[in-house]
Amino acid sequence: VQAVFRSNLSHLLDLMGSGKESLIFMKKRTKRLTAQWALAAQRLAQKLGATWRDQKQILVHIGFLTEESGDVFSPRVLKGGPLGEMVQWADILAALYVLGHGLRVTVSLKELQSNLGVPPGRGSCPLTMPLPFDLIYTDYHGLQQMKQHMGLSFKKYRCRIRVIDTFGTEPAYNHEEYATLHGYRTNWGYWNLNPKQFMTMFPHTPDNSFMGFVSEELNETEKQLIKGGKASNMAVVYGKEASIWKGKEKFLGILNKYMEIHGTVYYESQRPPEVPAFVKNHGLLPQPEFQQLLRKAKLFIGFGFPYEGPAPLEAIANGCIFLQSRFSPPHSSLNHEFFRGKPTSREVFSQHPYAENFIGKPHVWTVDYNNSEEFEAAIKAIMRTQVDPYLPYEYTCEGMLERIHAYIQHQDFCVAPGPALPGAHTPQSPFVLAPNATHLEWAQNASLAPAAWPPAHSLRAWLATPGRACTDTCLDHGLICEPSFFPFLNSQDAFLKLQVPCDSTESEMNHLYPAFAQPGQECYLQKEPLLFSCAGSNTKYRRLCPCRDFRKGQVALCQGCL
Ligand code: UDP
């Protein structure tokens, strides 16, 4: 069946159920954004023209909202608890619905069981039963619940699951045996999924799929109006919880010399003691009022926590400049409580790396807060800087629809992955060394261009410098690492074509392979396809990296990916 775009979201609101504070928050958001989604659907429909889109049957099981996993969020919605997750789930539901797919939403174990066809009273069904869904979107909590209650069919159908995973899961942490042997075990488990089945809030590592969310969009008239109405000396502090203000007196004091400081910190009856008296605290605001506040403000300022939420994007979309602190040394699971035990080794160089790297100046200023002069100079410069409201395409409704459309139509983890594992015979890989002899390109007339997605001809392969990860190596060349291309490179022939002098070639399980080890002139190939990883580095190795181009403002998709 062909999927048909939808612009009326009232049936979706019914599907979302009711009762919980978190659902109320999500439904309000969906309602408020209806017109924006409808317009985006129209535009994407035009862009895609006659492209066929399969209608999928989709289950969305929001594990963290189930009583069985403790539902710790709902009671905190009114107290400034993590709303980012709810923003994202609301937007995922809207996108799937607007794209025209068949949708079921569950927020309890009972509903999950009845949708999966597990007989009531039985813990799990021992037989493999047909699954009435093509796709299941869930989170780590939901994954655990499905494993417990689907019996054998979990294994059979797990390729249909997509895990919404805010901070991401790197391949080394996902592979059970490897994680256990090499110290990558975490509380989140090792599910042996295809790493692309994990979907993140920001494009952290291309090993996972970037899901994202949307921010409210402005039309030209609104943009002009907002630019005219800015109070050049008004600052809003990022963070709804009082704890983030602790120990920040020095910065607040400096900022207060120049600007009127506003906060949206949750409080019960009194001003939280962490928030100084010169700050105008509005308490936690309903989302539309928070947007209004951002429209008036000149500066949105972060004090290091929370990490990587939606609010800075909303602030920039509403014409604020975002000022944040640089982390030196970077924060990671090795040195910071928040990231400890998370299945990633990513190093976070500022409070909001996406804002820093994908948006940057003049919208985003990342400075060393330990240096009071640098901090003060930034504030003064910001007050003199004019900016337009800005929202990257990938965070617009159209951008999110486009991306999810592409994933749904092209990502299939139920088929065995590509070619060229060591041992398998690929007589000749279809590359040539580029004319400037720096990297490999897909040969123009290669007869065996396989029907891969992303299309294999967008591949550019580089040998990284020692100690450099493939994520960074590709970025160095204005490209993005594409893990699904690793199989094409995992051969002696690829090293040969790059003129790497391998004395010998071995095949092992290691998330840094394929790679070349300089001391022994040894070339290593990857034995386990699940361990292909863009992330990861070691000074011992020069990694062989598959990169591809990407659309401007839509890093998840290559030029020829739609
Ligand atoms: N937000 C809100 N009221 C406020 C402050 C923030 O509704 O007073 C919303 C904001 O619009 C954003 C969401 O809370 O979409 C999440 O914000 P944040 O970036 O702080 O992420 P979190 O840490 O909650 O995941």
For 25-79, the DSSP string reads HHHHHHHHTHHHHHHHHHHHHHHHTT---B--EEEEE-GGGSGGGT--SGGGGGG
Q: Would you state the pLDDT for residue 423?
A: 43
Q: Would you state the pLDDT for residue 152?
A: 81
Decide if 164 contacts 137 (C-beta within 8 A): yes
Q: Would you state the pLDDT for residue 421?
A: 47
Q: Would you state the pLDDT for residue 430?
A: 76
How many A from CA of 244 to the centre of ligand 1? 14
Q: Would you state the pLDDT for residue 552?
A: 93
The whole-angstrom separation of Cα 148 and Cα 111 is 15
Site to probe by mutation for ligand 1, drawn from 33, 77, 290 as the one with most ligand atoms within 8 Å of Cβ, is: 290
Q: Would you state the pLDDT for residue 445?
A: 66
For 284-342, what is each residue's pLDDT tens digit? 999 999 999 999 999 999 999 999 999 999 999 999 999 999 999 999 999 999 999 99
Decide if 238 contacts 303 (C-beta within 8 A): yes
- What is the number of the ligand 1 atom nearest to the C-alpha of 25? 7
Query: Exposed/middle/buried for 499, CB within 10 Å: 0-12, 13-18, 19+?
Result: exposed
Cα dist from 347 to 54, 342, 544, whole Å: 39, 12, 21
DSSP string, 173-188: HH-HHHHHHHT---TT
The whole-angstrom separation of Cα 562 and Cα 554 is 11
How many A from CA of 349 to the centre of ligand 1? 22
Site to probe by mutation for ligand 1, drawn from 77, 240, 279 as the one with most ligand atoms within 8 Å of Cβ, is: 240
- What is the number of the ligand 1 atom nearest to the C-alpha of 215? 15
Numbers of helices and strands, H then E, in the chain = 19, 21
Residues in the ligand 1 pocket, defined by CB under 6 Å: 82-84, 87, 240, 264, 284-285, 287, 290, 306, 309-311, 314
For 32-45, what is each residue's pLDDT tens digit? 999 999 999 999 99
Decide if 122 contacts 148 (C-beta within 8 A): no
Residue stretches of the chain with pLDDT short of 50: 420-425, 427
Site to probe by mutation for ligand 1, drawn from 32, 73, 83, 217 as the one with most ligand atoms within 8 Å of Cβ, is: 83
How many A from CA of 513 to the centre of ligand 1? 40
- What is the number of the ligand 1 atom nearest to the C-alpha of 287? 7
Q: Would you state the pLDDT for residue 424?
A: 45
Q: Would you state the pLDDT for residue 82?
A: 77
Cα dist from 5 to 8, 87, 123, whole Å: 10, 22, 38
User: Tokens 């919605």 identify what position?
Assistant: 77
Q: Would you state the pLDDT for residue 128?
A: 63
Is beta strand 321-331 parallel, antiparallel or unpaired with respect to 299-301? parallel
Q: Would you state the pLDDT for residue 407?
A: 98
Identify the bridge partners of residue 554 per DSSP, sorted by sequence position. Answer: 551
Q: How far is CA 16 from the centre of its chain?
A: 23
